[in-house]
Structure 1
């Protein structure tokens, strides 16, 4: 009888070990992924803030005679600032040079960002220039060509809003319901700081 109990106890311990190891592995994988997601969001926040900070100082466009024709945002440079916020080489957990995760540099992909359509809601970098007195209720676009209006009026009630989306590949896909990837999204809004009036 003693031998039978001993064999039964050993078999029970193996089953308990297998069940508990599975649960521990799932919890560990969740902790690893949550930590990596947190650090990725931090990198995206820094990039969105860098782009919005640069874009909050708009360009004054003049014609050949030196007359101001518009006050506008330099969308290409804002995008470059976002991409290089973490350096010019992909390092760390978030590769800002490949936001859509297809392994190709985003600089030549209009699906990620297009200077001709910077507000494309399907892009991975969205740069908007909304207006409004209340930052929680912004809409429309600030005029750039009408004298003494919006950005040509010292940026009155004009804002820049940078949204970055990032395709994050799960390190440990601990639940089939989540799939292999999730889309992270970060937005940063700043007032336009133009001092130009005219």
Structure 2
């Protein structure tokens, strides 16, 4: 009888070890999935803020005449960075999208106003036309007041993609980090008054 009881205690210990491992893994997965969800919400807000600001292009005038309508990529990037406030806190640090611990303000690998469509950047700003992406050329070009670039066939939009290096809270089999991308697209508006 004594020998049988000793065997039962050993069996319970093994069962507890197996069950605890599964329960801990599920708890860790729930925590990381929750953090990823909140990270994606913050990135969506940042991308939406950048696209909304970029949907109202800058009107360049000369002597009262409109000479050019273009996008201000540097200000769009600034709007993305500050969409969470001036002091980064919470889940996502929008001042350090690539996770290297350095402010992204002057890192061309994160964003470059001279190459805003860089697919390897952490902020990617695209519009549909032209060799000079800051210039709304082609079908989107307009210097005429109150001409709506949203008309059928014009295809004038701005797409902002914000990517973030998310570091897992519990890095098990999934690795240490992943890149989370969020994209937001808005039509470009040109209802400026001439």
| TM-score for the superposition, normalised by structure 2 | 0.88
Aligned to 1:155: 149
1:13 aligns with 2:3: no
1:56 aligns with 2:55: yes
Aligned to 2:172: 174
1:33-48 equivalent positions in 2, closer than 5 A = 33-48=32-47
Q: Is the 8 A contact 2:58 2:69 kept in 1?
A: yes
SS of equivalent residue, structure 1 residue 44: helix
> In 1, Cα distance between the equivalents of 2:95 and 2:84?
9
| RMSD (Å), alpha carbons | 2.0
1:40-189 equivalent positions in 2, closer than 5 A = 40-63=39-62, 65-130=63-128, 144=136, 149-152=139-142, 153-156=147-150, 157=154, 158-175=156-173, 178-189=174-185
The alignment of Structure 1 onto Structure 2 pairs a total of residues equal to 184
> In 1, Cα distance between the equivalents of 2:104 and 2:57?
24
User: Which blocks of at least 5 consecutive residues in structure 2 are unaligned?
Assistant: none
> In 1, Cα distance between the equivalents of 2:10 and 2:80?
57
Deviation string 1:122-179 (CA, Å, 9 cap, x unpaired) is: 1100011126xxxxxxxx9696367xx524143243101000111000111131xx21
Give the C-alpha shift of residue 47 in structure 1.
Answer: 0.5
User: Which blocks of at least 5 consecutive residues in structure 1 are unaligned?
Assistant: 132-139
Deviation string 1:79-101 (CA, Å, 9 cap, x unpaired) is: 01100111111111111110000
Q: Is the 8 A contact 1:142 1:150 kept in 2?
A: no
> In 2, Cα distance between the equivalents of 1:143 and 1:154?
17
Q: Is the 8 A contact 1:127 1:161 kept in 2?
A: yes
